[in-house]
Amino acid sequence: MDRRHFLGTGAALATAGAPLLGGVARAAAPRTATRPASAGADALPSRADITAVLRKVADRWIAAHPDTGDNLWANATFYSGLMALYRLTRDARYLDRARSWAESRAYGLNGGTTTRDADNQCAGQVYLDLYEAEPDPAKLTAIETCLHRMTAVDPVDKNDDWWWDDALHMGMPPFAGLGALRGDPAYWTKLHSLYTHTKSAEGGPGLLDPATGLWYRDKNFLPGGILSPSGKPVVWSRGNGWVAAGHVKTLKALPADRSDAAEYRDTLKRLIDAVARVQRADGFWNVNLADPEHFPGPETSGTVFFAYGTAYAVAAGLVDRAARLPVAARAWNGLVATAVHPDGTLGYVQKVGDRPDSSQPVTYDSTADFAVGGFLLAGTELAGLAS
């Protein structure tokens, strides 16, 4: 079946809070899923209020996890968010924590410098952030060796490494950041080749649906593949959140006048516009953007990355501020009201997986490092828009 028809059906008729592709009731949603937005839910809090919540959530995670942890993608995403919070607050405690983590791993990569796995390269994002804060060539030895091999040493025409959409968040930013730091566009060219393979159906998995601007997680969910229990497509919220975050971080590093930067801006804009049409009344997004009854209920990890992407798109002028800032504010206010515990724990997180069915049920107490990192990224971006 033609993908444009399959995923695009009904998209033009979607409205805020409604399924992008239609939906059939399968199970009653919890009360929090149908709670209407309260008065003022679309208003962005002050910068001071946002920062206070960010500190509370970050401090709670750090206190609950005295060990700095591994250098895999999930924990690296937390430290990416923590470094964003450091840049916002200039609180040395956050820099010290991130530095301690990186030093405990010798600024290395899981799988070593020959890895081509984008998940293993995610730590390089934080190493680049730490280098920016405190330059030291040793911090970049592993990530630079790794990406240089892919760019100039290994077969340079091998571009099929990113076969799942999460890889765009894990892999795009290190290539973009290293290219900017070294002034070497070869890293950007390689990045675009990898990206094009993932995005396009011409020789690649074609994970982007051109009709809607949304992304399939991997080839298993393309038309003719896995469907929801009610027969709807599976368009995973967090997978699309990873795509949004990868584009944001990449655009922050690339020169604005590059032709591929224009493509990334357009792709991000289309994604942000698409998810705005299916935001829930309580500010969250469902785990399946195409079927709101497929494990209905608030879910934090997709929501934080959509808030991050939307806030950046507003700040960068990619979308209309009046139309899209309320989307980001509604997401933030919903997260703070529903997912942030009194002690700062971040709940309603779908843990590690690759689809809406993974790590279910999502509960008030379910949390994860990568979601905390995404929350910190979202809040710091929103703080820049607040007064």
CB 304 within 8 A of CB 371: yes
CATH class of 38-383: mainly alpha
What ranges do the domains of the chain cover?
38-383
How does pLDDT run across 122-161, given as a tens digit for each residue?
A: 999 999 999 999 999 999 999 999 999 999 998 889 999 9
Q: What pLDDT shows up at residue 40?
A: 82
Q: What's CA 122's distance to the chain center, in Å?
A: 12
Q: What one-letter code names the amino acid at 34?
A: T
Residue 213 CA to residue 236 CA, distance in Å, equals 13
Q: How many CB atoms lie within 10 A of CB 160?
A: 13
- For tokens 């979601």, the residue is 371
pLDDT value at residue 71: 98
Mean pLDDT by 10 residues, the chain (387 residues): 38 38 32 48 97 98 98 98 98 98 98 98 98 98 98 94 98 98 98 97 95 98 97 98 98 96 98 98 98 97 98 98 98 98 98 98 98 99 97
- Give a three-class secondary structure readout of the chain: CCHHHHHHCCHHHCCCCCCCCCCCCCCCCCHHHHCCCCCCCCCCCCHHHHHHHHHHHHHHHHHHCCCCCCCCHHHHHHHHHHHHHHHHHCCHHHHHHHHHHHHHCCCCCCCCCCCCCHHHHCHHHHHHHHHHHCCCHHHHHHHHHHHHHHHHHCCCCCCCCCCCCHHHHHHHHHHHHHHHHHCCCHHHHHHHHHHHHHHCCCCCCCCECCCCCCECCCHHHCCCCCECCCCCECCEHHHHHHHHHHHHHHHHHCCCCCHHHHHHHHHHHHHHHHHHCCCCCCCCCCCECCCCCCCCCCCHHHHHHHHHHHHHHHHCCCCCHHHHHHHHHHHHHHHHHHHECCCCCECCCCCCCCCCCCCCCCCCCCCCHHHHHHHHHHHHHHHCCCC
Instruction: Give me the pLDDT at residue 38, please.
Output: 57
**Residue recorded with tokens 């033009």:** 12
pLDDT confidence of residue 154: 87
Supply the pLDDT for residue 4: 34
How many Cβ atoms from other residues are within 10 Å of residue 262's Cβ?
A: 12
Question: 385, 91 in Cβ contact below 8 A?
Answer: no
Going by C-alpha positions, the residue among 8, 6, 381 that lies closest to residue 212 is 8
- Distance of alpha carbon 241 from the chain centroid: 4
Angstrom CA distances, 250 to 62, 171, 239, 314, stand at 27, 10, 17, 16
pLDDT at 245: 99
